[in-house]
Structure 1
């Protein structure tokens, strides 16, 4: 099952919630995750442009985009002709919270691997950034004692902070001239190890 939460402003929908194990497995493919992420930031675009961005073949991108469309993660955008029809993401975010299933765990693991790959690349290339960006970036962790309700509250408050910048994603005119895309990972889990 796919649930789509609409955006009140009528723009890109807020989120797509996946519960169907087939949709979870489909989204776990690295190329499909990459395509959805690119469409959210740089879309809409055609399969030909997707091939240029990903290094995959046009046929491969077309196949993966059609698979994503089958599960409500992307859709055809306006414009284009024939095979050169553009695609767009259906929502800003994808979540599979409360989808207790092996497929959900596999998708979470695939996403964690993707995050790790992006973090490693960011660390390896940070010397190329201007000093103000190097100083602004942060990397670290905290261990705090929370109840489940408090952890949920922290997540909601963090979402509110980020939400105040959310309109910039869909409307470039709202971005300051020196704004750049910044990936912020929101990961919190109950520590199951005996040592930190």
Structure 2
């Protein structure tokens, strides 16, 4: 099980600089609604102060400061260059990959908690978006889908599908940091997809 996010930049370079962790403490540092909101906001705007984060999230500055420091300690964000008295934060300039570490007790449980929280948040985000479809401009027709499929596949075929899904957004690399790469009319889009078997074979079936 893994969850992955790529920050802008050359794909090959991003792979070399990927921040990988299976540390349960680091994973749980991210598994908090406010911290996920902070990460999302910082990825949208590039950098922001605790005050700006508080304004966006409707939280107190003190609460945002605490959660920002927690994210920084875990390696997900870092301090950006100061702007006078302002002390902004920004996402670390590299991809991040969170994956099960067989040598770390609790790694899989921590990832399951994080993924469960992220899935619930994404489901709620999509649910909140759907009523807006009635106001969709004609130019944005056929840009929304909720896809559910059931199929029979081997483990190798599912691995191929997981890789294909993970690679879907690679074509948009670099657009967050460099606005000149964004085509006219581009807006922030989001991809939420799952691929999984209904169950796993028993030991008798494997043999």
Q: TM-score, normalised by structure 2?
A: 0.80
SS of corresponding position for 1:169:
coil
* Structure 2 residue 56 is matched with structure 1 residue 53: yes
**Matched residues in 2 for 1:89 and 1:36: separation?**
7
SS of corresponding position for 2:175:
helix
Name whichever of 177-186 and 125-134 sits farther off: 125-134
- 1:23 maps to what in 2? 26
- 1:37 maps to what in 2? 40
Contact 1:168/1:175 (<8 A) preserved: yes
SS of corresponding position for 2:172:
coil
**Matched residues in 2 for 1:188 and 1:77: separation?**
36
- 1:178 maps to what in 2? 185
Contact 1:40/1:92 (<8 A) preserved: no
Offset of 1:93 from its aligned partner? Answer: 5.2
Cα deviation, 1:112-160, whole Å, max 9, x if unaligned, reads 1111111111112232331332422111211222222222222223333
**Matched residues in 2 for 1:108 and 1:6: separation?**
19
Larger radius of gyration: 2
Return 5+ residue gaps in structure 1 as ranges: none
Return 5+ residue gaps in structure 2 as ranges: 102-106, 201-207
Cα deviation, 1:24-56, whole Å, max 9, x if unaligned, reads 212111000010111111121111111111111
**Matched residues in 2 for 1:80 and 1:145: separation?**
55
**Matched residues in 1 for 2:6 and 2:184: separation?**
30
**Could you say which structure has the greater relative contact order, defined with CA pairs below 8 angstroms and 6 or more residues apart?**
2
* Structure 2 residue 171 is matched with structure 1 residue 164: yes
Offset of 1:172 from its aligned partner? Answer: 1.1
Q: Rate the CA distance shift 1:135–1:42 in 2: closer, same or farther, 3 A.
A: same
Aligned CA RMSD, in angstroms, stands at: 2.7
The count of aligned residue pairs is 188
Alignment of 1:22-171 (within 5 A): 22-82=25-85, 84-91=86-93, 94-99=96-101, 100-171=107-178
**Matched residues in 2 for 1:93 and 1:185: separation?**
18
Q: TM-score, normalised by structure 1?
A: 0.84
**Matched residues in 1 for 2:188 and 2:177: separation?**
12
Offset of 1:5 from its aligned partner? Answer: 8.8
